[in-house]
Structure 1
Amino acid sequence: MISPGRPAPEWHVDQWFNTPEPLTIASLRGKIIVIEAFQMLCPGCVSHGIPQAQRIYQTFSPQQVQVIGLHTVFEHHAAMTPVSLEAFIHEYRINFPVGVDRHSEGTHLPQTMRSYAMQGTPTLILIDAQGNLRDQHFGNVNDLALGAQIMELMIEAKPLQA
């Protein structure tokens, strides 16, 4: 994991779903960014990570909190293509933007996954309204604790949004 409080690395995304244009940290300045890094064939992602991201998306105002899915495939590459992901997004009724993490030649780890030094999936990343990494969780995250973290970041961001 990279150190909290430092500028969050930009994402390396080959394709986006559920958004008319590519998203960047700079384009979302002023909003809290919640990234759910997942894989379609990851049991923890399907049972916990994606449902939690959907709850965040449904709970917080999109003017204040931007939820993003990051499909970051480091295994079973042939099974988890963008075509399969599109069907997954439809079947699981995912309405928030989802990006496909870019692969690098010579490594099985996608670029954003490496930039953030993720341990695996599911990984939840919190970026504050100024574009700084604030927290990164590998595995399950308690809803109440996560909600409190998001609210803390929203309170900090209030002067920026005024």
Structure 2
Amino acid sequence: MTEPTNPPAAPDWTVSRWFNTDGAPSLESLRGRVVFLHAFQMLCPACVQHAVPQSLKVAAAFASTDLAVVGLHTVFEHHHAMGPEALQVYLHENRIAYPVGVDAYRDDDPTRAPLPLTMQAYAMRGTPTLLLIDRKGRLRQQHFGLLDDLRLGAGIATLLAEPA
């Protein structure tokens, strides 16, 4: 997991559709809270076996804090199999209740660009990718691949302990 010494502002998310929320959470609306965002694909083995269960554990473990848990379904392959309708079923079947956004493509056409917009903005290498954003909206940690629960918990606790 990388943590920059001079953390940059986290790029805005570009989402075409939200699930499990009445509004569209943005970094601006979450300012003052620590944000744990996990980018996943529902057909990614590492996401299904590790990252999504880990995000559910994070949501449960930090439910009494002001940590915002957000999912980002960022699809860069098998577009027809992982559309919003299939994602809605996946979220229901896996009891995912936190907000999940669908990473958008320019003009909502995946054939016009190789990667979704938020994935590009964060220079993600693939899924799963975990992001920790501090209370000031700065990207503090970004990790591609699997991350040990203790290391993730320590990173979240460190940011939660920082003053607003």
The two structures have a TM-score, normalised by structure 1, of: 0.93
Structure 1's consecutive aligned runs of 4 or more residues displaced over 3 angstroms after TM superposition are none
Q: Runs of 5+ in structure 2 lacking a partner?
A: none
| Aligned equivalent of 2:140 | 134
How far off its partner does 1:62 sit? Answer: 5.7
Match of 2:119 in 1: 113
* Alignment RMSD (CA, Å): 1.4
State the shift of 1:107 in Å.
1.0
SS at match of 2:141: strand
Deviations 1:56-115 (A, max 9, x none): 100113651000000000000011100000000001110110000001252120000000
Residue of structure 1 in register with 2:70 after alignment:
68
- What 5-or-longer segments of structure 1 have no aligned partner? none
Tell whether 2:153 aligns with 1:151: no
Give 1:1-162 correspondences, 5 Å limit. Answer: 4=4, 5-61=7-63, 63-104=65-106, 106-157=112-163, 160=164
Question: What TM-score, normalized by structure 2, do the two folds share?
Answer: 0.92
CA contact (8 A) 1:31 1:63 kept: no
**How many aligned residue pairs are there?**
157
Identity %: 50
Q: Secondary structure at the match of 1:147?
A: helix
